[in-house]
């Protein structure tokens, strides 16, 4: 018989406390992202009635069940597609997509590049743990070269995506990369991207000590965090094409910050213009 755990946290109004403790492994960076996210909401004084969190499938997809806002745990890869629908149906809502690298860039890669191209007004936080954690540590689109995973037991020969470069070249207005070690910078970046209009993208390099770290003999979570601390190099304004992620160097910082008209602005302006120009009401 397990007694009910009592939980009182100063930020418990942002959490579904009955769901805690969460299911993530010891040392997983997902918990740190959750922690930084609710702290960013608290520091901004965000209106929780106008905030929606959308997540896809994967370890970090569980975050939708832990934050105490309207949230959707969507089908695999379709987090951005559903978030786009939410944003267009009700542009007053602030829509945040928090999902993993496999969900956003493997199966959901098309949705990502097209949402960035259209500049849909979303905040996308991608937690990059270099593999598919939930299904057993398989090779993913961000697995670094020569890494061992369950589906690349002799080393990975596939070149990984540079997520920051992909987002910037697809048209994101704000691109940043941090690691789970950079808690203050990550919180600041989440706050900055929540305040901005347009497609904002934050990549968070997260330790996965149970699968990626174990297969690559990187030690416990603490050793992986010390590795992130050692190899990361802050370079604000760096060209995302040159912002590498490898076992010897991870370039972090805020890379892109530009202003562009957003998709929901443009589409509502278009609707106004078309309605104003003719007396016939459009269907739907």
| Contacts with another protein, residue ranges (CB under 8 A) | 2, 5, 7-11, 15, 20-22, 24-32, 34-36, 39, 183-184, 187, 220-222, 225-226
Asked if residue 83 lies in contact with residue 122, where contact means CB atoms within 8 angstroms, the answer is: yes
Minimum CB–partner distance for residue 189 and another protein (Å) = 14
CB of 32 or CB of 96, closer to another protein: 32
Q: Computed over its alpha carbons, how large is the radius of gyration of the chain? A: 19
CB of 138 to another protein, least distance (A): 23
Measured from the CB atom, the residue of 30 and 193 that comes closer to another protein is: 30
Question: Based on CB atoms, which residue is closest to another protein, 160 or 207?
Answer: 207
Note if the bond before 21 is cis, omega within 30 degrees. yes
Whichever of 11 and 270 has its CB closer to another protein, that residue is 11
* Minimum CB–partner distance for residue 32 and another protein (Å): 5
Q: Residue 50 has which token pair?
A: 């106008």
Q: Which residues contact 224 (CB under 8 A, 6 or more apart)?
A: 27, 207, 208, 209, 213, 218
Which H helix or E strand runs over 129?
Answer: none
Taking the complex as a whole, the smallest distance from the CB of residue 127 to another protein amounts, in Å, to 12
Select 19 or 242, whichever has its Cβ closest to another protein.
Answer: 19
Our CA dihedral for 202, 205, 208, 212, rounded to 10 degrees, sits at 120
Classify residue 118 as exposed, middle or buried by CB count within 10 Å of its CB (0-12, 13-18, 19+): middle
What is the smallest separation between the CB atom of 183 and another protein, expressed in angstroms? 5
């Amino acid at each position: 018989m397990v007694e009910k755990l009592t939980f009182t946290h100063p930020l418990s109004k942002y959490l579904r406390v009955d769901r805690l403790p969460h299911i993530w492994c010891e040392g997983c960076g997902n918990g740190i992202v959750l922690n930084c996210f609710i702290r960013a909401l608290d520091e901004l004084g965000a209106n929780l009635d106008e905030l929606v969190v959308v997540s896809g499938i994967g370890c970090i997809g569980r975050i939708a069940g832990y934050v105490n806002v309207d949230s959707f745990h969507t089908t695999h890869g379709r987090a951005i597609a559903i978030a786009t629908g939410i944003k267009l149906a009700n542009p007053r809502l602030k829509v945040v997509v928090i999902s993993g690298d496999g969900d956003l860039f493997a199966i959901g890669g098309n949705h990502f590049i097209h949402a960035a191209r259209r500049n849909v007004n979303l905040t996308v936080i991608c937690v990059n743990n270099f593999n598919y954690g939930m299904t057993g540590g398989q090779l993913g689109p961000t697995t670094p070269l020569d890494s061992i995973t369950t589906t690349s037991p002799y080393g990975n020969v596939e070149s990984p995506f540079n997520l920051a470069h992909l987002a910037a070249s697809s048209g994101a207005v704000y691109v940043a990369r941090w690691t789970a070690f950079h808690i203050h910078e990550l919180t600041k970046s989440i706050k900055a991207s929540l305040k901005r209009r347009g497609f904002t993208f934050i990549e968070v390099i997260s330790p996965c000590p149970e699968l990626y770290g174990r297969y690559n003999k990187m030690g416990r979570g603490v050793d992986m965090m010390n590795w992130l601390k050692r190899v990361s190099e802050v370079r604000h304004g760096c060209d995302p094409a040159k912002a590498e992620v490898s076992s010897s160097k991870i370039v972090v910082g805020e890379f892109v910050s530009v202003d562009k008209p957003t998709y929901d602005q443009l589409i509502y302006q278009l609707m106004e213009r078309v309605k104003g120009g003719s007396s016939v009401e459009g269907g739907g």
